[in-house]
Structure 1
Amino acid sequence: MTITPAAVPETPLELTILMPCLNEAETLATCIRKAMGYLERSGVQGEVLIADNGSTDGSQEIATSLGARVLPVPERGYGAALIAGIKGARGRYVIMGDSDDSYDFENLDPFVAKLREGHDLVMGNRFKGGIKPGAMPPLHRYLGNPVLTTIGRVFFGSPSGDFHCGLRGFNRDAILGLDLRAPGMEFASEMVVKATLQKLRITEVPTTLSPDGRSRPPHLRSWRDGWRHLRFLLVFCPRWLFLYPGLILFLGGLFGMGALLTGPAKLGGLTLDVHTLLYASAAVSMGFQLILFWAFARIHGAREGLVPEQPMLTRFLARFGLEPALLTALGLFVLGLLLGLAAVAIWGAVSFGEIGGHGTMRLAIASMTCMLLGLQLAMGAFFIAVLDMVRARR
């Protein structure tokens, strides 16, 4: 889904308080009254906007009767509702929060103050502001949120200490410029990650989380949505998914092959021989493939505007294009072929009968490794060239 900024309204507002809604009749009125009370008390010129995701319990009528504006959003999903709501907001700033009465819409002054100071994204932090008893399941409080937040901070350098706080404020135009697309719960991660990568000004304020006021179970599904957040973080940071594991496998495999190509090696009480050499060769091939996938992901992501360009990779590709890559691939393949011929010659020396020892096997493994690397490099170079052609056509 591509979001483009909506037309500037005739009467600009400073703040839109945005709530996604799917059958929240039990708590919606309370949230709207609190938000309206905040606007009246603070004197902020604003509106309350309900991004309704197809409620069938009368939520729309409740919102309208209390003076909130309702925006129907046919595409289901937490992210889909918020993306449409941000697009339809009339305020310069937007503060979004769940409509289950778990966040305090009467105390938005810290968010507005930070936005007025020029911050683009103001995250709530429930761990600093306080989590009331029963407000957050132990699985989320002690495992899910801390783990995913730590991954986000390590992978992307985000300053946020609570990656998935649902109460957050932002400059509408700045967030629209991120082209957010995730339709599900991972939208929360996408906003923070893209804001960090695009170097928006991010800060956080303490906020309190209370038990929600619903009698039904929440829409959130712990393991399913937790996996979707983790999957997004891994895919959006391919160096952790592809590059680092690939380098470990590739360099470790090369070291193992170098140690075992000439003969067995002792490691403590272990004797490593041709079988270990075979696994080392597999590690080299798998590691190289992962490194290539990292390059593909970085190039495609940068050219789609999802992530910033990697300057080092860009410079390397500018100097080492298709033709040099193909020549290198050809050299590796020829080297592998020569090693294979040497193994065949040794076999021929015994009239193509049984070969004693593992010397021929070592040559065969080295031959196979070189030819595989040559093929992988050639195919990878052609694929990168295809990406360049698609970009040029656009």
Structure 2
Amino acid sequence: MPTLNEEDGIGECIERITTALEELKIHGEILISDSSTDRTPEIAREMGAIVVEPDGKGYGYAYRYAFERARGEYIVMGDADTTYDFESIPRLLEPVRDGTADICMGSRLNGEIRDGSMPTLHQYIGNPLLTKFLNVFYGAGVSDAHSGFRVFTREAYETLDLNTDGMEFASEMIMEAGAKDLHIEEVPIIYHEREGEETLDSFQDGWRHVRFMLVNAPGNLFSIPGIMLGVVGLAIMAIAYSGLSIGGVSLGPHSMIAGSLLVLVGFQVLCMGVFATVTSDPIRRPTDPITNWMTSSLRLDRGVTAGLAMFGLGAVYAGIMISQWIASGFTQIPLLMADIAAFTAIVIGLQTVFNSFLMSTVASQ
């Protein structure tokens, strides 16, 4: 248990854990990762717990510091504010002990949330939305991704590459588990009202979770939106350029410009997904074929060649338009649609050339 001034609840939590261990008839240790300025560590030691003091700050760091010092085959984690009933440990331990799950979580949203134990905003908006994010982006398949009451094997812990120090640690564990195909089961639990002062900053901590989930899934953040923007933009440009009528309505130059802008933005956003994949080690790597091809096959010489070819086609087309305009004595304005298509190709070509150099630079560092 990580503790920060939990003297009001630490005693009750230790009593519940002791009851659970007696029911299981197994030997266990109660490890407190403490950063308190009140009597929390004294109370814990008096009740037989082992107290360690992390040499760094943060919720996640406190957990990681304690996990490295835990000696058991199975690890139970939870908050020391009495919100989790640790007498339920046997129910969460069972699927892990039987080998049917690598991690078992206590689900508050599938269980019972007592009055006053969770803010309405968290219960009906925050936690469900964050859980939805995790399930969509990382395939976690859980109902309550941010429940802090969890049981897992030491082997599962060593499989996870956990690095965060803050509140996003709760998300990181599930993201890593989903990305590495660890099996997660859930058990409904009762969530109780806490003892002591609340230390959670709802909006700041919620944003940290969302930001962490997004930056570790560059495919969802960059690649897929970029591809969608590009496809929509190309479709609009093709319809506008061909003069095809849809429902009696023809797309004109303004639609052509809008399509061009979507293509340019989409291509750059897609390139951001490639850069994010190459320069970092995201938990969930992009799975779309375009990003995978660009990250694995596209080299500086190929990128520059493709960019120059695209630039050349656009430049030749634009040159023809300009020469016709000059030949007419500057009286016949070239077709606007053709100009937009040509200059779109020129810009995409330049983007490809310079992005190839940038990717080569960052990839070599």
Q: Fold match, TM over 0.5? A: yes
1:88 correspondence with 2:63: no
2:36 — aligned with what? 55
**Which position in structure 2 is the counterpart of 1:389?**
364
Alignment partner, residue 374 of structure 1? 349
- Cα deviation, 1:8-66, whole Å, max 9, x if unaligned, reads xxxxxxxxxxx1111111111111122123223322211111111x2111211111111
Structure 2: which 5+ runs fail to align?
A: none
- The aligned residue for residue 364 of structure 1 is 339
Show the counterpart of 1:4.
none
Residue in 1 that maps onto 2:48 = 67
SS in 2 for 1:286: helix
Separation of aligned partners in 1, 2:247 and 2:202: 45
Letter in 2 for 1:168: R
Aligned to 1:14: none
Q: 2: distance between equivalents of 1:181 and 1:320?
A: 30
The structure-2 alpha-carbon separation of the partners of 1:144 and 1:318, relative to structure 1 and needing over 3 Å to count, comes to: closer
State TM-score, norm by structure 2: 0.91
Give 1:201 deviation, angstroms. 2.2
Deviations 1:219-240 (CA, angstroms, capped at 9, x unpaired): 1122221122122222222222
Cα displacement string for residues 85-117 of structure 1 (whole angstroms, at most 9, x for unaligned residues):
111212121111111000011221012212212
Asked if the contact 2:105/2:150 (under 8 Å) is kept, the reply is yes
Establish whether residue 123 from structure 1 lines up as the match of residue 105 from structure 2.
yes
Aligned counterpart for 2:164 among listed residues 176, 182, 188: 182
1:289 pairs with 261, 268, 291, which one?
A: 268
- Residues 169 and 274 of structure 1, relative CA distance in 2, 3 Å threshold: same
Quote how far apart the aligned CAs of 1:311 are. 9.2
Q: Deviations over 1:163-216 (max 9, x none)?
A: 0001011112322332211211111111001111111122111111011122x2
Q: Does 1:139 align with 2:85?
A: no
- 1:307 Cα deviation after fit: 4.0
2:217–2:286 CA contact under 8 A, matched in 1? no
Task: Indicate which of 114, 120, 134 corresponds to 2:95.
Answer: 114
Do 1:130 and 1:208's aligned partners in 2 also have CA atoms closer than 8 Å? yes
The CA deviation at 1:258 is 1.2
Q: Is 2:222 the counterpart of 1:242? A: yes
1:351 maps to which of 305, 324, 329: 329
**RMSD in angstroms over aligned alpha carbons?**
2.3
Separation in 2 of the partners of 1:249 and 1:309? 17
Q: Unaligned stretches of 5+ in structure 1? A: 1-18
What SS does structure 2 have at the residue aligned with 1:37? helix
Amino acid at match of 1:58: R
Q: Aligned pair count?
A: 363
Are 1:254 and 2:269 counterparts?
no
- Cα deviation, residue 330, structure 1: 1.1
One of 207, 213, 233 as aligned partner of 2:213: 233
380-389 or 56-65, which moves further after superposition? 380-389
Distance in 1, Cα, partners of 2:297 & 2:10:
59
Residues of 2 paired with 1:60 and 1:272: CA distance? Answer: 71
Matching residue's letter, 1:255: A
